Chains A and B, each alone.
Chain A
Amino acid sequence: DTAVSQTPKYLVTQMGNDKSIKCEQNLGHDTMYWYKQDSKKFLKIMFSYNNKELIINETVPNRFSPKSPDKAHLNLHINSLELGDSAVYFCASSRGSGGSSYEQYFGPGTRLTVT
């Protein structure tokens, strides 16, 4: 009965590879998000997405792309991985649209290590 789940939990890969992280929420929420937590533990929004709108943080390289097969899933695709992409990536969801007054629920995170 996990609310927001992510797979895999750990991902180790080499520079230049392409990888995906999957996220699923069973809360019936309208909006999903991806956040990045860097080596200094600082969390920053990468994307917010509902079925109407994708909002991209301007600092996110275009090698990163969210893909949503349906309302309950938001996967993160990363092309041409770089060492600096090593981080923990968190998926989250909420009712309403991005920037709303609703509580956000977070997944357990995916630790990506690029070697």
Chain B
Amino acid sequence: KQEVTQIPAALSVPEGENLVLNCSFTDSAIYNLQWFRQDPGKGLTSLLLIQSSQREQTSGRLNASLDKSSGRSTLYIAASQPGDSATYLCAVSGGGADGLTFGKGTHLIIQP
């Protein structure tokens, strides 16, 4: 059974810092990995999708890497801003599961 773990569960940093969010998964037979953002009381916004054959994806200040063999992904946020404050969710497709298997998220606060 696929399990996804995100570390840390919560993170608070001053504005302007670069930061890394971590995600690990137990079954490496995945199709892809998605990073989402969820604001309080809102839905999920897809940030980046990495296919299993890819090593990384970039969008603006965000960079996500994937090491499928070791079951790890990182989301790098450069020059953090208060507007980046949200919960970041990692999810994988495949690995013996139907639909996406989610981690419990990292609650990120960027202090102005």
Contacts and interface: CB of A to CB of B under 8 A. Distances in A.
Contacts, number: 68
B97 A104 contact: no
Interface in A36-70: 40-45, 47-48, 55, 57
Interface of B is mostly: strand
Q: What bracket does the count of chain A residues touching chain B fall in? A: 20 to 34
Contact of B98 (A42, A43, A48): A48
Nearest to A107: B43
Residue from the set B34, B45, B97, B100 with the largest chain A CB neighbour count within 10 Å: B100
A106 B34 CA distance: 12
Contact of A44 (B34, B42, B93, B102): B102
Interface string B67-103: 0000000000000000000010101011001111110
A103 B49 contact: yes
Given A41-B104, A41-B105, A104-B34, A99 B99 contact: yes
